[in-house]
Amino acid sequence: MTINTLKVQAHVPDEGHQLKPSYLEAVSRVERLHRRLLDLIKDEFDRMGWDDIGPVQAIMMFNIGDSELTAGELRSRGYYLGSNVSYNLKKLVDTGYIHQEKSKTDRRSVRIRLTPKGEEVAEVIDELYDRHLKSIAEVGGLSQEEFEGLNTALARLERFWVDQILYKL
């Protein structure tokens, strides 16, 4: 390598350094967006006078929907941590939002499904999302194309993070 080549390489901007502010902002926004969603759900429940479940549990019930599944399947679908799923499921069973029973084929496995009370919570979340969709383009200024681009970027970031874990990069 010649000295001239070294000088040129020394002046090439470090792409990672340039990306850092944008990357850190994206990570921060993902965290804040999740907290804001939980705040929206909590606010909805406060207006309804519901105080026996939290927003994370409500999202979990929305994600279960009309399915019957195991806690492991719920973890893989909703990306919940194992201890959080176990804790929340126990509480939701105790309060009558979720029904659980041992699997007929594998007695070690427990199948869960929403009770009518849990279905009501899932419906409230669905209606909340539907209300948002009625004004998100006009008030929020977000179009179908922007959501598609956002979802593509978030999927790529998720894949990158998963690869970092899987391949210990």
In this prediction, residue 75 carries a pLDDT of 83
Which residues lie below 8 Å from residue 124, measured CB to CB, with a gap of 6+?
44, 45, 48, 58
Model confidence at 83, in pLDDT bands (50, 70, 90)?
confident
The alpha carbon of residue 52 and the mean position of all alpha carbons in its chain are separated, in whole angstroms, by 22
pTM of the model: 0.82
152-156 average pLDDT score: 97
Over the stretch 23-43, which tens digit does the pLDDT of each residue have?
Answer: 999 999 999 999 999 999 999
CA distances from 127 to 50, 120, 123, 124 (A): 16, 10, 6, 5
Which residues lie below 8 Å from residue 19, measured CB to CB, with a gap of 6+?
none
Show the tokens assigned to 63: 């994600």
- 163 versus 76: the higher-pLDDT residue is 163
Query: Greatest CA span in the chain, whole angstroms?
Result: 75
3-state secondary structure at position 80: coil
Over the stretch 115-151, which tens digit does the pLDDT of each residue have?
Answer: 999 999 999 999 999 999 999 999 999 999 999 999 9
Q: Is the dihedral of CA 87, 112, 42, 158 positive or negative?
A: positive
In this prediction, residue 13 carries a pLDDT of 58
In this prediction, residue 79 carries a pLDDT of 65
In this prediction, residue 15 carries a pLDDT of 72
